[in-house]
Structures are given as C-alpha cells and as structure tokens.
Chain A
C-alpha cells in the first residue's frame, strides 16, 4: 500500500469522493423524506420508488438550467468560487482513518490540523462568491460569513485540542486507536470530551452554514445570501459542498470523540459509517426544528460561551493527561 503513496492516495480518493458524493446526494433524499415526516407530508414520492431517484432528477434539473454570469459580476471569481468551495470541503477527507490498519488515503502526522485548516478555508470561496456576485444581499451574506468565521473557528480549534491532548497525537489514526475498546473521548474521561464534542458539533454546524447558524445564507433576510446570483450547477456545487461539509463534520466528530471504527463486535468501517450517519441525521433534525440566530447574537455566543468553555475543557483535559 504505502510503496506507492501517490497511486494509493489517488485511487482511494477517487473511490472515496465517488462514494461520498453519492452519500451526500442521497442524503438530500433522506433529508427531504425526514423533513416531510416531521411536517406531516410524504416528501418526494414521484421519481422512482419512494422518490429514491429524486437526487438524479434534481441533478438533471440543475444541469439543464441556463448558466448566467451577471453582467456586472467579476466573472473569474464568480465562476471559480463554487468548484473551489467543493474542493476545500473534499480535501478534508484525505486524512481519515476509515478502518483499523492503514485505511487512510494520506496518513499525515498532522492530519487533524490539515483537516481543520482546509475545512476553514471554505470561508474564502464563500466570501469570493458574495463579493464577485456584485449583489447587495450576496455581499451582506459574504460579510456575515467572514465575520462569523472569525468567531467560530477559535472554539472549533480549541475543542479539537481535547482529543489531541488526550491521545497525544495529531494523527487521526492515533486518535481513533487511543479510543479503542470503548475508551471513547466523549465518555471517558468524564466531562471535557463530552462538552468538547457538543461544542465541536455546534461549531461544525456554523462552518457548514446549517441552521441555527446558517447566517450567511439566511434566506428569509438575504433572499439566498451568497448564492443569490448563482444558478444551475454552480448553485448545485455550493449546495453539494454544504452537504459534504456536514457529512465530513459528522464523520470527524465520530472519529475524534466517538471512537471512529471502534465498537462492540468486529471493528471496522461499519461502525464509523453508523456513527457518522447518526450524527448526520441528528443535524437534519436540528435543522428542521430550530430557528436561526441573528449574526451578532451568534458571535456573542461564540465569544462569551463557546470560547471560555472550550478553553476550560482543554485545561481539564491537560490536567487529566498529566495527573491521571
């Protein structure tokens, strides 16, 4: 495997991206069904059995749409932002341990840093899109995205320090292995891991622009926020990036706090998939239940609650590491 790292990484990435794109696409079907059940309606039923082919129909519709670049838009930035957004999201998966052993596309020793940094880059394409659209709503959305990124990235990084301290490694594989045999960081040591897990999920919601923190999009205020001027597949790429980001954040939470591929019975990919998709469904549940925070309220929460609490968890985790 590791004799040809380029070949291994490339092949793995190809399979992974294909599979995850499919998962993200069909998770849209799942979300629509799920939301439908929450709202006393059946959800998609028309395309294929139980509406299962709905993602394909959506995709066909998006591809068929006329592709317009607004006259006064900065066409280079406008057109490069959606693929760049998806790229930054996809990059984060490269360092995941999907199963025990060497099942990692690129086994970096600073894997977690890599994921976090490339994941937080997503603010830049979002800002590019809002700026280049030359639309006031999009501009406001972009400014909100930039402002809130500064707020939630700090607690996000701090919460990720907890598993790093507890496992003593930046490598994702080591973090998961340190939790083997049920020593999940969300459960043990009691306290810092669980709190950090919750904060990590909340900050990931903000990073992926999901309700209650979908402030840059805020369709009731900013029409469609940064994606106001986008149409067709360019909009589709942003949409897909949002789902991929949520999916990756769920898998990351599962790996860092819930033991990744560890579980009762044989360890393996199935446990990671189960945990990741459960978190993913939980995020849908949150989305279809809650209202949206105002931008300044969210930033106040980040700085006044999330940052001090996450600092506290890091401190407790450090003490645990040294003295326990």
Chain B
C-alpha cells in the first residue's frame, strides 16, 4: 500500500487565503450592532471544556453552529509568575518558569538562563552549549508528541480513535521523560540549567538510552502518519480548516510552526543561532497552505528533524566543563549586573522570549516573558468567525496552545 507521508506537502487549495473580516474580530465591538434581533446563541467555550487544552475561555456568538464572533478570555491560569520572578533570586527563577510552558520546561529554563547570561556577559562552555541543544531538541520531540495526541483527541474524542493515538504518543513521550529522569533526576520540572551552564552532566549509559529511545520514535512517526495522516477523515477535518494568512500571522506576532505553516521561513535556531545551533545544519520545514493540515505537516517534519538532531548530537558532545561559574548553593549567592537583556529561543510553539531588567542586586527588577502561545491564541477571533464549532476545536488544537504559558 502506498503510504503518503507528511514529508510531502499537500497541495495548497486554489486561490488566495480568504481575507478575514476584521470588524468581527474587534473584541470591543458591541454585540448589538451585529445582532440587533438578539437571536444569536452566546456560548462560553471553556474554561471547563474537554478540548480547550487547559482553562481557556472563548466566548462565541453562534448562528446555528456557525460562529459569528469569538472573543478569547485568557487569564484563568494566571499565577503571577512575572511578579513572582521579581521577588525571587536569579537562582530561584528557573524552577518557577519551568511551570510556564509545562510541556517543554527545559526550553523555558533555557530562555531565562540565556537572558541572565547575556545580562552578565557570562560565556557558557562549549560542552554545556551542546548539552543545552540536545536537551532542547529532546524536549521538542516530547512536546510535539503531546500535541499530536491531543490534536487527534480533539477530532476523535476521548473514547475513540483519538484516544488510541493519544495513548500511543504518550507511550513514546514517557520514554523521553525517562531519559530526562536519568539525566536530571526529574521527569518534568528539571531545574537543571543555571547561569553559566548546566547543573547535571549526562550520566553513564545516557547516550545508549537516548539513541534507543529516539530510534524507536523515529520508526513510530511512520505509524502515526499511517494512523492519522493517511486517514480520509483526518484529511477532511483539517484540510482548509483554520487558514492563517502570512500577513495576519506576522501582524499578530505569531511564530514557530504556525508561522512556518503559513509560508514564512523563519526559525530562530537557524536565523539567530543560540546555544550550539550555529554549528549545526537545521532543515526548517515550511508549508504555504496555512491550514491545520499544514501545521500538522510542519510539526511532524520538525519532529523528524529534531530526532535527527538528537541522534547526531548524542555522539558529538565535546568534552569540557559544564558550567562557567562555580555552582551556587545559596539562593542569594549570584548577584547580577545592572542593565537589561532580551533573549528569544525557538521553542516547540515558537519564539519564547525573556526580557530581564536588572538593578544590580541578586533579584531582577522586572522579568517579562513573551510566550508564543499567547500570540497564537490572538488568532482565535480571526479564525473562528465563519467556521463551525467543530472546526473551532480543530483550529484550537492545531494552534497547540499551552495555557500555562498563555496566562503565566
């Protein structure tokens, strides 16, 4: 049987991407101006809803099942992380930002620590740079696996084919977490990166374990394509659904796989290299269709690329120290310089930025986190009008939001 793989792009639908109707998207527009009769149904999708990937709330005005207007209300998972970061020392911040994007905590730690390093002009040893790259790519695969499972579940339901795909992706994700557990001692919130490098060097047997794990996953990505991408139902549910045109995406600051699925070839790993990415060759998958299917293709191709990078990196980590500074033990032991720094990394969901303003004490004066999901969720008022409730769920799933980082 000829199996179509997501490596080959599907044909973009003919014609230009439909321009969105901007007036509907204005969140402050008075409902009475477009619903004078009051016969639209107002529905609160969330915050308690199985498919909003957390506690996201979208207020929908529905005409039958077709959405007329949608207004997202983030903030149900707001924990005051940025304010908390003003009260904690540089040593205490990484374990807190771990909980922002709780699907890829390693990359969160990487972003804040790189900002602190830039602020203090700390040179990170080469071995640590490679370890960071390895960890980030390992994490990206795990994050995309979680997205794949939940995306399938948005279409197949928790008691059906979607759940089967979900269970399979989670089986693989568990093995990735096992690797991290061997490395850092924690499965999820690692607190392994610190200013100047890493706390944990890779243990004995780690390379073998990672190689085994990622080679298995590489073989299984083909199974996922056979199970999901080859399925006519999946195709019909995603093709042409939730089309994002490149201009809108750039206006809203959307980044990562969503931007690349809309035809913009932009990846910070390649275009603004950090860690060891400057020494690696990275193939950036780009699609032009901009629909949910294109986002699936981009993420699957990214997953394969990350697996390739992990397998390449695991054998080529240079020797040397893993931390430039003496490891600190007390929370207040590290004093930063005054000044400010902004550093962005390309996480699984896009540009994850950290802007730190420091006043020369052991605490940051202000720490601003730029989460990619927050900007992706800004697409909802543009994508939802005109599509049915079912399509809104699929679109939401294809944007891969993590509410922990949307609300912080």
CB < 8 Å: which of A144, A218, A223, A292 contacts B49? A223
Closest-CB distance, A162 to chain B (whole angstroms): 25
**CB contact under 8 A between A220 and B161, given known A40-B168, A136-B41, A290-B231:** no
Closest-CB distance, B51 to chain A (whole angstroms): 4
B-chain residues with CB within 8 Å of residue A61 when the two chains form the complex? none
CB < 8 Å: which of A39, A137, A140 contacts B163? A39
| A40 pairs with B389, CB closer than 8 A | no
Whether B65 is near chain A, meaning CB under 8 Å from some CB there, is yes
Residue of B with least CB distance to A296: B388
CB < 8 Å: which of A40, A220, A293 contacts B154? A220
| B163 pairs with A288, CB closer than 8 A | yes
| A290 pairs with B233, CB closer than 8 A | yes
A40 CA to B171 CA, complexed, in Å: 8
CB < 8 Å: which of B157, B161, B167, B231 contacts A218? B157
| B156 pairs with A293, CB closer than 8 A | no
| B161 pairs with A221, CB closer than 8 A | no
| A292 pairs with B157, CB closer than 8 A | yes
A-chain residues with CB within 8 Å of residue B164 when the two chains form the complex? 35, 38-39, 288-289
Encoded as 1 (CB less than 8 Å from any A CB) or 0, chain B from 121 to 160 comes to 0000000000000000000000000000000111111111
B-chain residues with CB within 8 Å of residue A223 when the two chains form the complex? 49-50
A-chain residues with CB within 8 Å of residue B393 when the two chains form the complex? 220-221
A-chain residues with CB within 8 Å of residue B237 when the two chains form the complex? 291-294, 297
Within A244-303, the residues touching B (CB, 8 Å) are: 287-297
| B233 pairs with A292, CB closer than 8 A | yes
Whether A207 is near chain B, meaning CB under 8 Å from some CB there, is no
| A294 pairs with B160, CB closer than 8 A | no
Which of A137, A214, A292 counts the most chain B CB atoms within 10 A? A292
| A291 pairs with B155, CB closer than 8 A | yes
Residue of A with least CB distance to B66: A296
| A291 pairs with B152, CB closer than 8 A | yes
| A39 pairs with B160, CB closer than 8 A | no
**CB contact under 8 A between A287 and B65, given known A293-B237, A294-B391:** no
CB < 8 Å: which of A39, A211, A221, A293 contacts B389? A221
Whether B43 is near chain A, meaning CB under 8 Å from some CB there, is yes
A-chain residues with CB within 8 Å of residue B156 when the two chains form the complex? 211, 220, 290-292
| B171 pairs with A220, CB closer than 8 A | no
| A211 pairs with B391, CB closer than 8 A | no
Whether A304 is near chain B, meaning CB under 8 Å from some CB there, is no
Whether A212 is near chain B, meaning CB under 8 Å from some CB there, is yes
Whether A219 is near chain B, meaning CB under 8 Å from some CB there, is yes
Residue of A with least CB distance to B43: A136
| A295 pairs with B390, CB closer than 8 A | yes
A258 CA to B163 CA, complexed, in Å: 32
Whether B33 is near chain A, meaning CB under 8 Å from some CB there, is no
Closest-CB distance, A214 to chain B (whole angstroms): 7
A-chain residues with CB within 8 Å of residue B188 when the two chains form the complex? none
Closest-CB distance, B175 to chain A (whole angstroms): 12
A140 CA to B60 CA, complexed, in Å: 14
Encoded as 1 (CB less than 8 Å from any B CB) or 0, chain A from 22 to 38 comes to 00000000000001001
Encoded as 1 (CB less than 8 Å from any B CB) or 0, chain A from 1 to 42 comes to 000000000000000000000000000000000010011110
| B51 pairs with A220, CB closer than 8 A | yes
A294 CA to B237 CA, complexed, in Å: 7
Q: List 12 A-B contacts (CB under 8 A).
A: A140-B65, A219-B50, A288-B164, A289-B227, A291-B156, A291-B160, A291-B228, A291-B231, A291-B234, A292-B162, A293-B233, A294-B237
A contact residues vs B (CB 8 Å cutoff): 35, 38-41, 136-137, 140, 143-144, 211-212, 214, 217-223, 287-297
